[in-house]
Structure 1
Amino acid sequence: MAEGVVGLVVATLGAALATEAASFGWSLVAKEAAALRDVFGKIRRSKAELESMQAYLHEAELFKDTDMTTAVFVGEIRRLAFQMEDVADEFTYKLEDCKHGGFAGKTRKRLKHIKAWYRLAAKFQEIEAKLEDANRRKKYYTIRPSPAAKSTSQGKGLHFTRDEDLVGIEENKGKLVKWLTPGAGGDGDDLEQSSSKVTTVWGMPGVGKTTLAAHVYRTVKLDFDATAWVTVSESYCLEDLLKKIATAFDVEVDVANVEMRGLAESIHDHLQGKKYILVLDDVWTPLVWSEIRNVFPTSNCIGRFVITSRKYEVSRLATREHAIHLQPLKARNSWVLFCKGAFWNDVDQRCPPELQELASKFIAKCQGLPIAISCIGRLLSCKPQTPAEWENVYRGLDSQLAKDVMPDAHMILKVSLEDLPYDLKNCFLHCALSPEDYVLQRRKTMRQWIAAGFIRETDESKTLEEVAEGYLVELVNRSLLQVVERNYAGRLKWCRMHDVIRLLALNKAKEECFGKVYNGSGGTRAFSVEGARRISVLGGNIEQLSLSGTTQLRALHVFEKYINVDLLKPILTSSNLLSTLDLQGTRIKMLPDEVFDLFNLRYLGIRDTEIESLPEAVGRLQNLEVLDAFESKLMYLPNNVVKLRKLRYLYACPPSTSEAVNVGGVKVPNGMQHLTGLQALQFVDASLEFLREVGDLTELRTFGVCNVRSEHSADLSNAITRMSHLFHLEICAAAENEVLRLEGLHLPPTLSWLGLTGQLEKTTMPQLFSSWSHLDSLTRLYLAFSSIDEQTFSGLCVLRGLRFLALREAFGGRRLNFYAESFPKLTRLWIRGTPQLHQVVIEEGAMPNLVELSLRDCPKLKFLPNGMEHLAALDKLNLEDTLEELIQKLRQKRDSNECSKDVMKISHIRNVRVIRSQNGLLERIR
C-alpha cells in the first residue's frame, strides 16, 4: 500500500513541476530565479526517485508481513513521502500566492518568499538524504525472502472443506451438480456427442466460493474418468499452471523437463476420449482461460470446467447462463453456521438462552459472510461460555487487529488489495472511512476521489469523472463493494461496503497511515492521531480529537450531527494543508474563520447544514474544486466566489427545490463567466445578467436554473445552446402558470436527464417535442405543469431511448394513449396530478420493458389502464390517492365470482401497492 502514498506524491510533484514554465515567465530577480531553479531541480530529482521506487514497493507489499526489515523500510518511505507531499504543497501555494495582487504587491511577495524558496529546497535536500540513508540501510540489513516465504505471504494455501461450513448451499449445490454431471441437462452419456461446458462461481472475498465448489467437486468426481483441482495465483505463470494441471490430472510426463508445447500436447492426449472435470479456483483474470482453453480436447469427450473468482469479468466466461453469483448467507443459515462453530463440542450445537442476544450481535456484525461467521465462531468456542466473556470479545472486536480475530478473512482481503492498482487501493480505503452500513452515493464518492487526487486522466478520451466512475464499477466487479441500487438506466446509484470487509480495510488504512475513524468513546488515551492523514468522525464529542494534536491532516469527514464548532478550530489550525472538509448533515450554522485559511482545500462539503451565508473570505480558497452546499440554507453566494477559478462543481440550493414546485434557487454574483472549469452548477436563480454570462461555461455537464420567467427564455436558450457537453439539465419556472418559451432551445445530443417545471407554449409545443428527435442519449424526462394535451403527448414518442418518464400535473387531457411500439426502452412511468384523466390506453407492443407504473392523484380514473395485461415485464404497480371504487375492485380475489376485469389485468404483477398520502397508510394488495 505504500506505493499508493508514493503515487499521490508523484502526482503532487508533477503538478508542482508543471508550473515551472509559467514561473520563469515572470521577470525574476537573479536571486529569486536561482532559488526557484534550486527548488525545481530538487523536486525533479525527488519525483524521479519515487517513480523508480514504486515498482519495488508493489513487490515489497507481497512479503513485508514476513520480512521485518522490508516492513520497516516501507514504513520509512511512507513517512518521507508524506513529508515530500507537505513541502511540495507549501511550495505550490507560495508560488501561486505570488501571482495575485497588483505589480507592487506581487513584487513584495516574491522578494519575501526568496527565503522560503531556500528553506524548502533545503527541506527537499534533507528528505532526499534520509531517503538515500534508508535505502543504504535496507540493502545492508535485508534478508532476501525465499520463494516459499513469498508464496506464504500471498495467502495461497491448501483449501479444506469442513462439514460444519456447509450451510445454506443446497440450492446452488443442486444447480452445480446438474450442470456438471454428464447426462444431465440433455448432454447424454454417449462420448460421440462432444460436450464442453464452463461454469463460474463468483462473489465477494470470503463468501464461500471455494467451499461450495469443493463440496460439489467431491460429490461429482466419481462420475468422471479424470479429475483435477488447481488453485490459480493472481500472478500466475502459464508454464507453471500447465505443470500443476498435468500433475493434478496424473499425466504421465516429466513435468520438470518437458517444454511447454509438449506439456500441452500430453494433457490433450491424456484427456482424449474421457469424461473429465477441472476446477480452477480463485482465478483473477479471464486471460487465464483464453491461454489454456485450447489445451483441452473438445471432440469425442465430455469436459466440465468450474472457475471460482471474486471478479465479475471472470464470471462472464460461463457457458450461457451457467454462472452463480454467490451472496452472503441469510439470517437463519448464518445462525446455524455460527452455532456449529461456537458450540462444535456440544452434542446439539445449540446456543444457551443467556448467550442468544450476544450471539445475534456477533452474527449481525458478520452480515452473512461465512468466513467471518466461522472465524468468530471458532474464536468464541475457545472462550468460557459466559455473557461477561462474550461481551468482552464483542467490545474489542473492532479495536483488535482483524488479522488476530479473523486471520482467514484478513488473508483473503490482503490478496485482494495486492491485486489492486495503487490508485484503486486509495479509492477503496477511502470508502472504508464511512460509517458502518453507510450507503455511498456514486456522484459524491467520485467527487471526493477527484478532489483527493486519487483520480488521474488515463488518456485524452476520458474525463476525470469517467475514470472515477470506472473505478467505482471496478470495485463492485471485484466484489469489494456491494450494489445497493441501480438507477433507471442500470447505472450504479448507491453501493456499500460489507461490514467485515470494512473492518479489515480500516485496519489496513490504519496500518498504512491512510486514515482512522474516531467515535469519541473510550477515554482520553483511546485515540491516537499519530501518522493519520485522514480522520473520519463517526460520533461522540470531538474534544479528544481537538486536544489530540492533529497535524497535517489531508481530509476531515464529519458524520456526527451535533459538533462544537469551537472544537474544530484547533484541528483546522494545525492542519493547514487540509484538502477535504466534509461537514454534510451537521447542524452547524456558520463555518469557523479558520476554514478560509486552508489554501490547499479542494473539497468543501456543507450539504444539508444550517449554514445561511458564506463570507467573502471564501475567495481565498484558490484551490477549491468542489463547493457542495446542496439543501443547505444558503440563499446567495458571496461576490468573491467568482475568484475560485479551479471550481469544478458548485451545488447550492435550498431544500426541496429539485423535482418540486420551484421555491427559488441561490442568487449568484456577476462574473460567473470566469468559472470556465465548472462541470456542475445547481440551482441558480435566473436573472438577465446571469443568463448572459452562463453561456461562457461551455464545460458544464450539469446545469439547474430556477425562477425562470418568460422574458428570460431567449437568453436562456442561447446560453444552453452553447453547452455542447450538457448531460443533466433542469429548468424551473418562477411560478406554475409561468410560460417557458423554449422554441429557440437547441439541446445537445449528449443530454441524458431533462427536467422542465413550468407551462410550455401550446402553439409551439409540437415543434419543441419534434426538435428532440436527435436526443438518442436522453434516458430521463421530468415534466411538471406543462399543459400537455392528448394531441401533443404523442410527440414525446420521438424519445425512443427514454427509460424514465415522469408527468407531474403535466397532462390536462381526458385520455392518455400509448401507441404500439412507443417508448420501447421505458422502465419507469410516473403519472401524477391529472384531474381530468378518465382513461389510459396501452396498445400491444407499447412499453415492452416497463417495470414500474405509478399512478397518483388521478381522481377520475375508475379503471386501470386498458391493455395493462400486455405489459409482461411490469413488476410494480403503485396507486396513490386513487378512487376508492377502483381499490375495492382490486381487493377482490382472482378466483372469486365477482372478480373484475381490473383484477385480471394485474394478475401477472408481483407487487401492487395502495398508498394514502394524507394519513400515511400503505396497503400491499399482492
Structure 2
Amino acid sequence: MAVYAALLSLTRSLHQILNLEKYIDPDLHKGKIVSLHEKVCFTLIFLEDYSDKLYSVVGDEIRRAAYEAQDFIDSYLCSISANIDEWSSSEKMALDQDLNMAIERVDFIWEEVMKMKNSDGADDILRSRTHSSPVDDSSTVQLTVGEMVVGFDDDLKSIKDYTMDHFDVCAWITVSAEHNKREIFSGLLRSFKKPPTHHNEQSDVSTAQLEKIVYQNLTGRRYLIVIDDIWTTKAWDDLKKIFPNDDNGSRILLTTRLSDIAVYAGYSSTLIHQMKFLNEDQSWELLQKRIFGQGSCPPQLVGIGKKIARNCGGLPLTIVVVAGLLQSPGNMTEEELWENISENISSKESTIEMQCSKILCLSYDRLPLRLKPCFLYIAAFPEDSQIDVSKLIKLWVAEGFLKPTDRSKCLEDVGERYLGDLVNRSLLLVSKKGPDGKLEIVGIHDMLRDICITKAEEEMFFCHVSSQRNALNAFSENRHRRLGIHSTHNSQEWLIPDSSIRSVLFFTEMRIKSSLSISCRRLSILDAPETTWPNFSDAISMFVNLRYIAFALNDISCPHGFPASISKLPNLQTLIGNRTEHGFIESLLKVPYEVWTMPKLRHLIMNVPFDLLYPSNVGFLPESGLETLEKVSNFKFTEEAVKILVNLKKLKVVFYFESDNVDDFNVDYLFRLKKLEELEVFASDLPDPSMTWNYKFPINLRKLTLLEVPFPWENMNIIGSLPKLEVLQMMNIKVFEYSEWLPVEGQFLQLKYFSSSLDGLVKWEAEKEHFPCLESLSLECAWDMKEIPSGIGEIDSLQFIELKYCKESLVDSARRIQEEQHENGNYAFQLRVIV
C-alpha cells in the first residue's frame, strides 16, 4: 500500500513539473520527465491488479525505491521553482543529478514489475487497463440499514426501566481511554439544549471555570447525562464533582468495558446492566440486514452466511465489518467471495478479542488499493476525533491519493465517493450529515483505529507522536513520510528538521500554546491551524512544494498581517488562515491581490472575514482556479471580477458597512457565477436601511444561506425559480413589516431542507405541490407565525420537523402533522421541539 501511495505522490509531482514548463530545460530534462511519468503511471496500473504478489516478493525494496525517487523529484522541484531566472552550470548539473537518481530508482521498480508481469502472464490485463481509465466502483453512501438495531430489545427495555421519561437537560459525552477534563466539560456544554457559553467564548475561560459553569447549569434541574466509554476510576473522580445531587430524579448512565469501574462509581449490582453477545440467530439477522436491507439472502448463500455470522463471535462490530467485506466481490463471484471470507474468519482463535482483531485486519487487507491510503490517513487523528469531511478530502487531494476518472474529473467528488465506500464497509462512522444529506463529520471505532495505527506504522506510512523526543526519534529513523503531532503540554516547541517527512498534522488541546520551527523545504502538507510558527511570513516562500497549508494567523507568526510572500508558492492548492488571537486583526484582515496570480490555488478559507484586494492595477488576469472562497468581506461582484472567478463553487461573503456609500454594495453580476453551488450571504448594517435584496442568484445553486439579509417575502420567486436548490436557510432576514408568502406551483421543485426564523411572516399558504420533495423543516424563533400550513403535513417525502423556541400554537400544529403522518403509516417521521 505504501508503495502505491508513494507512486501516486510521485506521479503528482511529475505532473506538476510538466505544468511548470517554462522552468524546465527542454533539451536536458523534459524528455526524461515525460518518460519517467509514463513508467510510473504504468506501474500504478499494474499494482492495482497485482499488489498481493508485490508485497510477498519485493514490497520493502520497491517502497524504499519509490520514496527515494520521490525525494529526488521533490529536490528537483524545489530547485527549479527557486531559481527561475538564471541557472549556473553547477546548478544545472545538480538538477540533472537529482533527475538521473530518480530515473535510476524508478528503473529499479520498473524492472521488478516487469519480472512479475512476465512470470504471471498479465499482458492482456495490462493492455486493457492501459487503454482505459481505472474503474471507479465506489458506491454511494447507504446509511439507513446501518441505523438498524438487532438483538438488543431486552437491553433497551432494561435501560429504560432504570431511567425516566422526561428530563430538563440531556447530554452525551464520550470519555474513552485518554480523557481530558476540559474537553469533557466543553462537550457537555455543547450538548445542553441552551449552552450558557458560546462555543467560541469557551477558549477564554479556565478549566475550573468551565467545571463551575457545568455544575451551575445542572443545579436544580432534572438531568440525564450519558458518559460513554469510561475506562478509569480517575476519569470518574474527575467528573463526579460536576453533578449536583438535588434528589430530583436526575440520572447518570455510564457505559464501560470494565465492570469494576461501575462498581467504583457507586452503583449497586442491580443497576449494572451487562451487555450480552448476540446469539447465532441475532448475528445472522444483523448480517442479513446489513447486506440485503429489507430483502432476503439468496438461498445458495444462506448456509455459508450463517456459518460466517456464527464465527463473528456475537460482536456487532465484527458483523457489520464482515458485511462490508461481503458486499465487495472484486473479481470473484458472490459464492467465491463468501467462501473465501468464511475460510478467513474461522472460529479457531483462542479469544474473542483475537478473533475480532483478525476480522478487522482482514477488512483492511481486502480493501481496494485505492482506498488503503485514504483509510490509513485516519491514523493521524486523535482518539474520538470528529473528523471534518471537507478537510479530510482536501488533505487526500493534496497527498495525491485521488485520481480523476471518466465519471468525475473533480478530485473532491472522487474523494466523496471514496469516503462513502469506507462508510459502507463500516470502517468509518457517520457522526453528522448536512441538510443536503452529504457527510460532514465522520469518526472511527477505537478498535478499528488501533488496526489503522498498527498498519500505518508497519508500512511506515504514518507516525504520531506526543513528545519532542519521540518526534526526533521519528526524524532520525528517516522512514516515515507523514507525522501526526498531538501537543498536550503548554509552551511546547516542535522542531521539524530536514528529513523524509512530507506531511505534518498538528493537533492541540484547547488553550494549549505550541510553536514550531520547520527546516524541511520539501514539505508538501502542513496542517497547523492552532500552532504558532515564528517568522512564518519570512520563511514560507521557501517551501515551494507546499500543496496544503492551514496556519495560525497572529502577531507572532504574521506581525505585519497576511503574508504576501505566500503567493510565491506555485503548487499551493488549499490555503486556510486561522485567527488565533487579536492584535493586528482588530481591523479587517486584508489579503493582498498577489493571491489572484497563484496558478494552483483552489481553496482560500479564513475563519474571520477578510478583504480580498482586487488587482485593478496589474492589467489582465486569466481565469482563476478558485473553487472555494470563505469568508470574503464587502467584495464587489463586478463584471470583471466574476469573469476571473468563473470556477467558483462555494462562496461565503460578508457585508459590513461603516459608511453611507451605497456603491460599496455591489452584487449586480453575482448571478453570472454559473458553477456556484453553495452560497452564504451575511449582511449587517446596509448603508441604506430601506435596501432589500432583489438581485438574481446563480442558476445552479444547490444550497443558499441568507443571514441578516433584508429579503422581503414577496421576492421569494427569485429563490423559488432556482431549479437545483435543495437546501435553503433564511435567518433574521430583517423583515420589519408583517407579510404573506403565497408560493407558486412549479417552484422549489428540488427543495429538501428549509430552515428559517420566518421573520415578519404572519400568513403562509402552502400545499404539498409547492414543496414536492421537502424532507426537513426547521423553524427557530418564528414568533410571528401561528401555525405550520396543513399542506406541509401532506407532503409524502416529509421526514422531520424541528421547532426551536417557537410559540405554542406553532408547536401544536406540528404535533397535528406528526399524528397525521403516523396515521398515514409514516412512522419514520420525527418531531423535535426545543422550548
TM-score tier by shorter-chain length is 0.5 to 0.7
Of 168-177 and 492-501, deviating more is 168-177
Counterpart of 1:502 in structure 2 is 449
Partners in 2 of 1:686 and 1:88 — Cα distance? 42
Shift of 1:429: 1.7
How do 1:307-346 and structure 2 match up within 5 A? none
Task: Choose the corresponding residue for 1:649, options 597, 600, 603.
Answer: 603
Question: Which AA in structure 2 matches 1:637?
Answer: K
Please state whether the residue corresponding to 1:751 is helix, strand or coil: coil
How do 1:279-318 and structure 2 match up within 5 A? 282=326, 284-285=328-329
Shift of 1:731: 1.6
Does residue 743 (structure 1) correspond to residue 694 (structure 2)? The answer is: yes
Contact kept? 1:730, 1:754, Cα under 8 Å: yes
Question: Which AA in structure 1 matches 2:611?
Answer: K
Question: Which AA in structure 1 matches 2:528?
Answer: L
Contact kept? 1:684, 1:704, Cα under 8 Å: yes
Please state whether the residue corresponding to 1:559 is helix, strand or coil: strand
Does residue 733 (structure 1) correspond to residue 709 (structure 2)? The answer is: no
Partners in 2 of 1:136 and 1:407 — Cα distance? 39
Counterpart of 2:32 in structure 1 is 42
Counterpart of 1:757 in structure 2 is 707
Counterpart of 2:590 in structure 1 is 637
Partners in 1 of 2:631 and 2:47 — Cα distance? 46
Shift of 1:486: 2.2
Does residue 121 (structure 1) correspond to residue 68 (structure 2)? The answer is: no
Shift of 1:686: 0.8
Counterpart of 1:8 in structure 2 is 9
Counterpart of 1:661 in structure 2 is none
C-alpha change, 1:642 and 1:766, in structure 2 (3 Å) is: same
Partners in 1 of 2:629 and 2:641 — Cα distance? 13
Partners in 1 of 2:95 and 2:487 — Cα distance? 38
C-alpha offsets along residues 885-917 of structure 1, whole Å, 9 cap, x if unaligned?
Answer: xxxxxxxxxxxxxxxxxxxxx9998765544xx
TM-score for the superposition, normalised by structure 2: 0.65
Please state whether the residue corresponding to 1:443 is helix, strand or coil: helix
Please state whether the residue corresponding to 2:589 is helix, strand or coil: coil
Contact kept? 2:605, 2:629, Cα under 8 Å: yes
Contact kept? 1:708, 1:731, Cα under 8 Å: no
Please state whether the residue corresponding to 1:705 is helix, strand or coil: strand
Does residue 440 (structure 1) correspond to residue 384 (structure 2)? The answer is: no
How do 1:58-77 and structure 2 match up within 5 A? 61-63=51-53, 70=57, 73-77=58-62
C-alpha offsets along residues 757-802 of structure 1, whole Å, 9 cap, x if unaligned?
Answer: 235464xx53552563242333233343242877642337731322
Shift of 1:137: 9.6
Counterpart of 1:95 in structure 2 is 80
Partners in 2 of 1:714 and 1:549 — Cα distance? 47
Partners in 1 of 2:115 and 2:698 — Cα distance? 66
Partners in 2 of 1:559 and 1:757 — Cα distance? 32
| Structure 1, unpaired ranges of 5+ | 25-32, 100-108, 146-164, 180-184, 188-194, 203-207, 218-233, 235-278, 293-305, 311-369, 380-405, 655-664, 876-905, 916-926
C-alpha offsets along residues 119-147 of structure 1, whole Å, 9 cap, x if unaligned?
Answer: 222233345445667888999999x99xx
| Structure 2, unpaired ranges of 5+ | 121-274, 315-321
Please state whether the residue corresponding to 1:666 is helix, strand or coil: strand
Counterpart of 2:160 in structure 1 is none
C-alpha change, 1:731 and 1:18, in structure 2 (3 Å) is: closer
Shift of 1:829: 2.1
Counterpart of 1:577 in structure 2 is 522
C-alpha offsets along residues 566-587 of structure 1, whole Å, 9 cap, x if unaligned?
Answer: 5x21xx21x1111111113447
Counterpart of 1:671 in structure 2 is 615
How do 1:238-317 and structure 2 match up within 5 A? 282=326, 284-285=328-329
Partners in 2 of 1:437 and 1:775 — Cα distance? 40
C-alpha change, 1:682 and 1:766, in structure 2 (3 Å) is: same
Contact kept? 2:474, 2:480, Cα under 8 Å: no
Task: Choose the corresponding residue for 1:111, options 75, 87, 93.
Answer: 87
Question: Which AA in structure 1 matches 2:596?
Answer: V
Contact kept? 2:603, 2:627, Cα under 8 Å: yes
Shift of 1:728: 0.6
How do 1:541-580 and structure 2 match up within 5 A? 546=494, 549=497, 551-561=499-509, 568-569=516-517, 572-573=518-519, 575-580=520-525
Question: Which AA in structure 1 matches 2:696?
Answer: L
Task: Choose the corresponding residue for 1:801, options 750, 756, 761.
Answer: 750
Counterpart of 2:777 in structure 1 is 829
Shift of 1:51: 4.0
C-alpha change, 1:196 and 1:456, in structure 2 (3 Å) is: closer
Counterpart of 2:545 in structure 1 is 600
Question: Which AA in structure 1 matches 2:87?
Answer: L
Counterpart of 1:352 in structure 2 is none
Question: Which AA in structure 1 matches 2:406?
Answer: D
Question: Which AA in structure 1 matches 2:328?
Answer: W
Partners in 2 of 1:908 and 1:283 — Cα distance? 26
Shift of 1:646: 2.0
Task: Choose the corresponding residue for 2:410, options 459, 463, 475.
Answer: 463
Shift of 1:174: 7.2
Partners in 1 of 2:498 and 2:350 — Cα distance? 34
Contact kept? 2:708, 2:732, Cα under 8 Å: yes
Partners in 2 of 1:309 and 1:788 — Cα distance? 68
Question: Which AA in structure 1 matches 2:650?
Answer: T
C-alpha change, 1:776 and 1:908, in structure 2 (3 Å) is: closer
Does residue 511 (structure 1) correspond to residue 458 (structure 2)? The answer is: yes
C-alpha change, 1:438 and 1:819, in structure 2 (3 Å) is: same
C-alpha change, 1:598 and 1:496, in structure 2 (3 Å) is: same
Task: Choose the corresponding residue for 1:493, options 440, 454, 459.
Answer: 440
Counterpart of 2:151 in structure 1 is none
Shift of 1:372: 14
Partners in 2 of 1:482 and 1:3 — Cα distance? 25
Partners in 2 of 1:280 and 1:497 — Cα distance? 15
Shift of 1:452: 1.9
C-alpha offsets along residues 228-281 of structure 1, whole Å, 9 cap, x if unaligned?
Answer: xxxxxx9xxxxxxxxxxxxxxxxxxxxxxxxxxxxxxxxxxxxxxxxxxxx999
Shift of 1:601: 1.1
Contact kept? 1:432, 1:497, Cα under 8 Å: no
Question: Which AA in structure 2 matches 1:772?
Answer: G
Does residue 702 (structure 1) correspond to residue 687 (structure 2)? The answer is: no
C-alpha change, 1:201 and 1:674, in structure 2 (3 Å) is: farther
Partners in 2 of 1:141 and 1:780 — Cα distance? 55
Partners in 2 of 1:536 and 1:201 — Cα distance? 45
**Structure whose CA Rg is larger:** 1
Question: Which AA in structure 2 matches 1:730?
Answer: E
Contact kept? 1:589, 1:609, Cα under 8 Å: no
C-alpha change, 1:874 and 1:697, in structure 2 (3 Å) is: farther
Question: Which AA in structure 2 matches 1:785?
Answer: I
Of 679-688 and 831-840, deviating more is 831-840
Shift of 1:469: 1.2
Shift of 1:720: 1.4
Partners in 2 of 1:746 and 1:40 — Cα distance? 46
Please state whether the residue corresponding to 1:637 is helix, strand or coil: strand
Counterpart of 2:309 in structure 1 is 212
Partners in 2 of 1:913 and 1:789 — Cα distance? 27
Partners in 1 of 2:717 and 2:47 — Cα distance? 58
Please state whether the residue corresponding to 2:328 is helix, strand or coil: coil
Partners in 1 of 2:282 and 2:716 — Cα distance? 53
Shift of 1:538: 1.8
Please state whether the residue corresponding to 2:396 is helix, strand or coil: helix
Does residue 168 (structure 1) correspond to residue 278 (structure 2)? The answer is: yes
Contact kept? 2:66, 2:109, Cα under 8 Å: no
How do 1:507-546 and structure 2 match up within 5 A? 507-520=454-467, 527=474, 529-540=477-488, 546=494
Counterpart of 2:791 in structure 1 is 843
Partners in 1 of 2:347 and 2:534 — Cα distance? 44
Contact kept? 2:694, 2:715, Cα under 8 Å: yes
Task: Choose the corresponding residue for 1:623, options 571, 576, 584.
Answer: 571
